[in-house]
Copies of this chain bind each other. A is one copy, B any other.
Amino acid sequence: MRVAYLGPAGTFGEEAAIRFAPEAERLPFPSHAAVAAAVESGMADLGVVAIENSINGSVAETLDILIHETELRIQAELVLPIVHNLVVKPATNADMVKVIYSHPQALGQCRKFIERCFPKAQLEAALSTTEAVQLALRRDNDGAAIATARAAELYGAEVLARGIQDAANNVTRFLVLGHKTPPPTGRDRTSIAFTFAEDQPGALAGVLNEFAKHGVNCTKIESRPTREAFGEYVFLIDFEGHKDEPEMAALLEQVATHCATLKVFGSYPRWQ
């Protein structure tokens, strides 16, 4: 099996791919859109994409791929803790560090640690946490990177400090995209997107009432601007249940009567 992910190796995307299918061949791609295209074209069997982080919110690129660009199905989800580490060239001590490299998002998620422990360090942006390790290694023992432990291992760097992220509960939810829908397990989640014909004050309430009538729990609701006009939205809902269960199929039919468009991204076992 071949699993596509957002590379390069050593980033959290690879960690999710390893966690999902440890034995699979892993193929890094430069964007989430490329991951989806790799699966659609047969270059990979499955693709792992980030959908939501507890600190940063939804990954808009992935939502837009699901809404507009792909007919792939969500087959599984994973929720992984995001652990940032301070990574250095071997023989670098904390008091030697003058420059800290990372992706701006990782630098932002470790701001308190940096302010406390390295108040004078110069912060430098990198395109990924893995590139940050490479940039730090090019310096003469005065550079550090914020990156995964695996990136340190891959490039012969050392972890100087572990778990330096400001928020204790920093987790990312990943989706596995493929061509199939797994059968119901009794503990599933379904993800859908829908639009309304025009701006109707009661339209969204109408949809949510269908869920309420069936006693179905919506685990997430969100709106994304349509690509056509700012202020017009696609609505996204995750709910507990599987589209192939008879009651859920009936619910989805009733939801569809309220909507101009309705797309089911997939039904898949909930992460435990």
A215, B201: Cβ atoms closer than 8 Å? yes
Contact between B104 and A224 (Cβ–Cβ < 8 Å)?
Answer: no
A253 within 8 A of B: no
Closest chain B residue to A170 by CB distance? B230
Contacting pair B205 A209 (CB below 8 A): yes
A220–B223 contact, CB under 8 A? yes
> Which one of B57, B103, B201, B216 contacts A125 once the chains associate, using CB atoms below 8 Å?
B103
CA distance A227 to B169 in the complex (A): 8
User: How far is the CB of A79 from the nearest CB of chain B, in Å?
Assistant: 7
Q: Which residues of B contact A192 (CB under 8 A)?
A: none
The reply to whether B205 and A201 form a contact with Cβ atoms under 8 Å apart is no
With known contacts A103-B104, A125-B104, A219–B231 Cβ distance under 8 A: yes
Is A259 an interface residue when CB atoms closer than 8 A count as contact? Answer: no
CA gap between A185 and B156 in the complex, in Å? 62
Question: How many whole Å from A267's CB to the nearest CB in chain B?
Answer: 18
Q: Give the B-binding residues of A (Cβ under 8 A).
A: 31, 52, 54-58, 60-61, 63, 79, 103-104, 107-108, 111, 123-127, 131, 167, 169, 171, 173, 199, 201-202, 204-206, 208-209, 211-212, 215-225, 227, 229-231, 233, 235
15 further A-B pairs in the complex, CB-CB below 8 A; given A125-B125, A201-B217: A57-B224, A57-B225, A104-B104, A104-B125, A104-B127, A124-B127, A125-B126, A169-B227, A199-B217, A201-B215, A201-B218, A202-B209, A202-B212, A205-B205, A221-B221
